[in-house]
Amino acid sequence: MNSEEEPMVEIKAGPELDRAVAEAVGWRFTAKKVVRDSFDVVAGTLLEGWWDGDDYISYQTPECSTDLNAAFAAAEKVGLFHNDRHNAMLATVEDNQWEVLWSTDDDDSVIAPTPALAICAAILKLKENQRPG
């Protein structure tokens, strides 16, 4: 797809987007008891922050919209780039824009000004398309 077919996504980096992406991939901000000694915390201690099941991520919201490593971690969590139903690719397009294109029934794609934003937009669009409706 080229940029004439798929307009650039109007999406802004920041805490609201970061939280939306974290929640979309299933990370939860909560207080949980640590099940094993880690991060200099003794098992059984109540620890508040972002969790992926029993795995503690961070007290801070993962900055997926500005941190490419965090964006790829979120993409990995939802299987954006490796999934039985689709495989996505990240590529540059005209005017230094970034596109995430994945194969589904509709061959979806998003275009954004940075790779991290393109991944965030793709995650949100993918999760939106998976909702029953």
> Model's pTM, two decimal places?
0.82
pLDDT of residue 55: 85
pLDDT of residue 105: 61
* In a domain? residue 91: yes
* In a domain? residue 68: yes
Angle between helices 115-130 and 68-78 (to 10 degrees): 20
Percent of the chain past pLDDT 90, that is, above it, reads: 41
Residue in 85, 80, 83, 81 with CA at minimum distance from that of residue 127: 80
The domain total for the chain is 1
pLDDT of residue 114: 92
pLDDT digits (tens, 9 = 90+) for 28-72: 999 988 776 666 777 788 889 999 988 888 999 999 999 999 999
pLDDT of residue 39: 63
With tokens 């939802």, the residue in question is 78
* In a domain? residue 105: yes
Query: The domain containing residue 72 runs over which residues?
Result: 63-133
State the average pLDDT for the chain: 84
* In a domain? residue 1: no
pLDDT above 50 for 15:
yes
pLDDT above 60 for 3:
no
* In a domain? residue 99: yes
pLDDT range class, residue 8, cuts 50, 70, 90? low
* In a domain? residue 43: no
> CB–CB of 110/126 below 8 Å?
no
pLDDT of residue 121: 93
* In a domain? residue 102: yes
130: domain CATH number is 3.30.160
Within 10 angstroms of residue 91's Cβ, the number of other Cβ atoms is 13
Q: Helix/strand/coil (H, E, C) string of 84-113? A: CCCCEEEEEEHHHEEEEEECCCCCCEEEEC
pLDDT of residue 1: 41
pLDDT range class, residue 76, cuts 50, 70, 90? very high
* In a domain? residue 44: no
